[in-house]
Structure 1
Amino acid sequence: MSTRTESEPNHGRRFVLAPNIAPDWRQTMLIFAGISTVCLGIGVVCAWFGLWPILPFAGIEVTALGWALYKSARRSLDREVIHVVDNAVVVEKGCGRVEERFEMDRTWTDVQLRRRSRRWDETQLLLRSRDRSLVIGAFLDADERRSLERALRACIGPMARWGDARPVTATESNAPERSWTPGLTANVGEKSG
């Protein structure tokens, strides 16, 4: 996976996520041409000496190789671009071009890294805002997801974690600390009557 983080001119940040697939389209075509020439050349030589059934299998092999290389090269065009600008988080997903675009309120967006229950040691990175949830970085490995989570938490959603059932501590209080449990009307030690 390759990740680029850039500062945008209007005081925002941009995260570009892409799978780490080494050869580009030109290199893929050169690899395909080289392997196809050798494979079909051997098939033609065998057919010349009377072993013609080898030629159709060589053709099937070259077709399967071409399909696999095409799928791999196409996957190398996958991109997820996360723009964190002003009061918005914009996520654009696509293969070679923007196919999906999601916009969320930056203040109320939360970044969550959660474990998937059915997969051993696999995590899922989510952006959650109000009633929407969006999976990002599905092609990242676990360490890359943790790194991206830390980077996104640094610039997204300071208000998103309010009201999530974590205990709230008082910062300024002269009163003695008392606990409150929903449903109880009397303080501990008092008899209700």
Structure 2
Amino acid sequence: MTSGNDFDPEREPPELFSALLTPHRSLNSTGFLVLMGFLSTVSFAAGLAFLLMGAWPVLGFFGLDVLAIYWAFRINFRHARATEEISVTLYELRVRRVSHRGHVAEYVLNPLWVQLDQKSHAEFGIEKLYLVSKGRRISIASFLGPDEKASFAKALTAALQAARRGPTYNPVSQCL
């Protein structure tokens, strides 16, 4: 317990910014089941028509088409498990990236020395966002579209500026 402006080392610094980024997928599992059911029905009906005309190998190729589409969607859903978590406190900027295979990469940077760099295209907007510190560039927010990247960059820049200003004393929040 501290009073006034005393320093409390056990108290966690406030989180200035936190974002959990995930890839966007427009088709959920219910939509996937409906789509696969529709494709299976159409392929079976078309294959059955070819079978009745005497072209029996076509039925197998229609089945392979449905199997290939199923396999492609399963890979797409597996890649949707990737995440990127970015948080900023007064003392650190933490980037935690989890790949679709579960591999974790974590970067901890000093927010005082981090610069947010962006690669923009005149027609498409922001294409890439990078955190630059000590000669190292870390690509972030690759899941987002150009407009979302612009909004994300604005919020992250504001958090980095707040971290550079340092802690402020607020007597109202200290009393609560």
After TM superposition, is the score higher than 0.5?
A: yes
In the other structure, the counterpart of 2:110 is 105
CA distance in 1, matches of 2:34, 2:124: 39
1:67 aligns with 2:76: no
Residue 89 of structure 2 is aligned to residue 85 of structure 1 = yes
Structure with a larger share of its residues in helix: 2
1:28 is aligned to 2:32: yes
Structure 1: which 5+ runs fail to align? 1-8, 160-193
Report percent identity of matched pairs.
Answer: 23
| 132 and 22 in structure 1: CA distance in 2 versus 1, 3 angstrom threshold | same
User: Does 2:44 correspond to 1:40?
Assistant: yes
Question: Which one has the largest radius of gyration?
Answer: 1
Distance 1:120 1:141 in 2: 10
1:127 shift after superposition: 0.8
Q: Give the number of equivalent residue pairs.
A: 150
Deviation at 1:153, TM superposition (A): 0.5
Counterpart CA distance in 1 for 2:56 and 2:44 is 12
> Are the counterparts in 2 of residues 116 and 124 from structure 1 also a CA contact under 8 Å?
no
Matches within 5 A, 1:109-120: 109-115=114-120
Looking at structure 2, the residues matched to 92 and 132 of structure 1 have their Cα atoms a distance apart, in angstroms, of 16
Q: Distance in 2 between matches of 1:132 and 1:29?
A: 44
Paired with 1:54 and 1:67, the residues of 2 have a C-alpha distance of: 20
**Structure 1 residues 35 and 42, CA, compared in 2 at 3 Å: closer, same or farther?**
same
Q: Which runs of 5+ in 2 are unaligned?
A: 1-11, 165-176
Where does residue 155 of structure 2 map in the other structure?
Answer: 151
Runs of 4+ displaced beyond 4 Å: 119-122
Q: Deviations along 1:24-65, whole A, 9 cap, x unmatched?
A: 345424432442243134324532452212112202211221
Q: Is the 8 A contact 1:17 1:137 kept in 2?
A: yes
Q: Which residue of structure 1 lines up, in the alignment, with residue 146 of structure 2?
A: 142
Residues 152 and 122 of structure 1, relative CA distance in 2, 3 Å threshold: closer
Q: CA RMSD in A?
A: 2.8
The match for 2:14 among 11, 30, 36 is 11
Cα gap change, 1:116 to 1:93, in 2 (>3 Å): farther
Please give the TM-score of this superposition, normalised by the length of structure 2. 0.70
Contact kept? 1:81, 1:92, Cα under 8 Å: yes
